[in-house]
């Protein structure tokens, strides 16, 4: 049973239950094996699509469920608690490419891409980072040159979640042809599909965690993208990507909350079962205090996440709140999973119990969609630029 300080509506609780049942039925029996074998199970895409989980915030007129962000994130927490690899697929798809097309796409782009994405027929991916452009996202080097009725893209994208199975990739490339290699202006967002000549999937990363989620490089070699696949204005791609990451970071915060909640649940159960010195270890104050601190950090992370989601649903500017939610939840997830391993002792260090996987999966939440250091930069800049709390 997952609790929340924010009162949930009946509909939100129903979607939360659906997500929990789905995770228990479809993911729990396989999550350990998929992690061990670094196996991505493609049938999951259709199963998520059938439940509407690949169009959660997309309006019903475009084939989605039309839910608010709080409902989406509550469901994401449930999926992450069981299989964080599936959670990142759901998070990236719902928060980044679908939101970008929904917000800045033409009616034609919505018809061709958003509708099948919302139905789960096309999986979405997001390609901003490159081998030499990570935290400094404005230093994108992939070049897009206009040529007749096409843009010709050349370059390599890195760290692309779900890149092996994506049917639609939102790729950022430099449209400024002046030779300037840096700068937020002069970057376009392109809707790229794997059937384009010159598109190829490159190196698949062998990762510490989220092993069932394929992360790859994508190569664009002289790839001709039709002009009608440019999203929005040709020099606004960086801005569109940053605004979408405000929602993306809420998704990663929800993933982190789910992981931390699972670690707390497993550790509490184990502490009740495990006997040492003649009694269950939960009767030792050292264990009780540890569990109390873990529960406090899970509750605080969830409360901040839900408050940020509610702010988004009210139409507020959420850049700083999503950065805060991600920063807090990801660092809490890393800390809580470390404590869970300590409670399990030697059994926490081996793969017989789930906390070892949760610990490995938690780490990346401090890294992707902006490292903790980037979140602190974003929060600090917002503090000064908007004069909030000063
Ligand atoms: N919303 C709207 N506009 C924004 C914005 C936001 N959230 N963030 C920045 N901007 C605007 C700024 O206002 C500025 O506009 P003006 O030029 O009009 O003033 C412009 O964008 C440039 O912004 P900055 O001057 O702040 O740019 P910067 O180069 O100093 O860097 C940064 C900003 C915050 C560090 C940014 O580069 C950043 O977020 N880096 C991390 C990138 C990241 O999160 N990557 C993750 C990729 S996805 C992934 O992880 C893989 C996956 O599939 C999960």
Ligand 1 pocket member 318 (CB < 6 A):
no
Each residue's pLDDT tens digit, 228-259: 999 999 999 999 999 999 999 999 999 999 99
Query: Is 369 considered catalytic here?
Result: yes
d(CA 168, CA 120): 11
Confidence of residue 385 (pLDDT cuts 50, 70, 90): confident
Residue 41 vs residue 177, higher pLDDT: 41
Confidence of residue 178 (pLDDT cuts 50, 70, 90): confident
Ligand 1 pocket member 38 (CB < 6 A):
no
Confidence of residue 32 (pLDDT cuts 50, 70, 90): very high
CA 375 to the chain's CA centroid: 15
From the CB of residue 115, how many other CB atoms can be counted at a distance below 10 Å?
18
Q: How far is the CA of 265 from the centre of ligand 1 (A)?
A: 36
d(CA 365, CA 255): 8
Q: How far is the CA of 238 from the centre of ligand 1 (A)?
A: 7
Ligand 1 pocket member 245 (CB < 6 A):
yes
User: Whose C-alpha lies nearest to ligand 1, atom 37?
Assistant: 137
Question: Which ligand 1 atom is at minimum distance from the Cα of 184?
Answer: 22
Each residue's pLDDT tens digit, 339-371: 999 999 999 999 999 999 999 999 999 999 999
Q: How far is the CA of 378 from the centre of ligand 1 (A)?
A: 8
The answer to pTM > 0.95 is: yes
Confidence of residue 387 (pLDDT cuts 50, 70, 90): low
Ligand 1 pocket member 367 (CB < 6 A):
no
From the CB of residue 242, how many other CB atoms can be counted at a distance below 10 Å?
17
Ligand 1 pocket member 321 (CB < 6 A):
no
Find out whether 64 and 55 touch, Cβ atoms under 8 Å: yes
Ligand 1 pocket member 77 (CB < 6 A):
no
| The one catalytic residue among 77, 78, 331, 369 | 369
């Amino acid at each position: 049973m997952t609790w929340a300080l924010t009162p949930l509506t009946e509909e939100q609780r129903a979607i939360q239950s659906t997500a929990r049942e789905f995770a228990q039925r479809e993911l729990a029996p396989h999550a350990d094996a998929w992690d061990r074998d670094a196996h991505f199970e493609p049938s999951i895409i259709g199963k998520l699509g059938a439940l509407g989980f690949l169009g959660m915030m997309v309006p019903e007129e475009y084939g989605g469920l039309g839910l608010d962000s709080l409902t989406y994130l509550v469901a994401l927490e449930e999926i992450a608690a069981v299989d964080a690899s599936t959670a990142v697929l759901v998070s990236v798809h719902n928060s980044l490419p679908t939101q970008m097309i929904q917000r800045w796409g033409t009616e034609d782009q919505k018809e061709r891409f958003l509708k099948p994405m919302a139905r789960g027929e096309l999986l979405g991916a997001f390609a901003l980072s490159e081998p030499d452009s990570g935290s400094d996202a404005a230093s994108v080097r992939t070049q897009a040159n206009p040529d007749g009725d096409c843009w010709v893209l050349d370059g390599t994208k890195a760290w692309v979640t779900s890149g092996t199975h994506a049917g639609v990739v939102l790729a950022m490339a430099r449209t400024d042809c002046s030779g300037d290699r840096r700068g937020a202006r002069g970057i376009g967002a392109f809707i790229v599909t794997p059937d384009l000549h010159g598109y190829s999937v490159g190196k698949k990363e062998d990762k510490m965690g989220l092993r069932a989620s394929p992360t790859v490089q994508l190569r664009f070699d002289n790839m001709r993208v039709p002009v009608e696949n440019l999203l929005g204005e040709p020099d606004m791609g960086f801005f569109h990507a940053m605004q979408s990451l405000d929602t993306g970071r809420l998704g990663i915060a929800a993933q982190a909350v789910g992981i931390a909640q699972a670690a707390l649940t497993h550790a509490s159960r184990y502490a009740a079962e495990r006997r040492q010195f003649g009694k269950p270890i939960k009767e030792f104050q050292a264990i009780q205090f540890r569990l109390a601190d873990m529960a406090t950090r899970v509750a605080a992370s969830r409360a901040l996440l839900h408050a940020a989601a509610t702010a988004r649903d009210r139409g507020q500017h959420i850049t700083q709140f999503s950065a805060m939610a991600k920063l807090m939840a990801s660092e809490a997830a890393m800390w809580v999973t470390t404590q869970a391993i300590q409670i399990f002792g030697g059994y926490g260090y081996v793969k017989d119990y789930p906390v070892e996987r949760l610990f490995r999966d938690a780490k990346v939440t401090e890294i992707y969609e902006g490292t903790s250091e980037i979140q602190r930069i974003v929060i600090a800049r917002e503090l000064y630029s908007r004069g909030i709390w000063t």
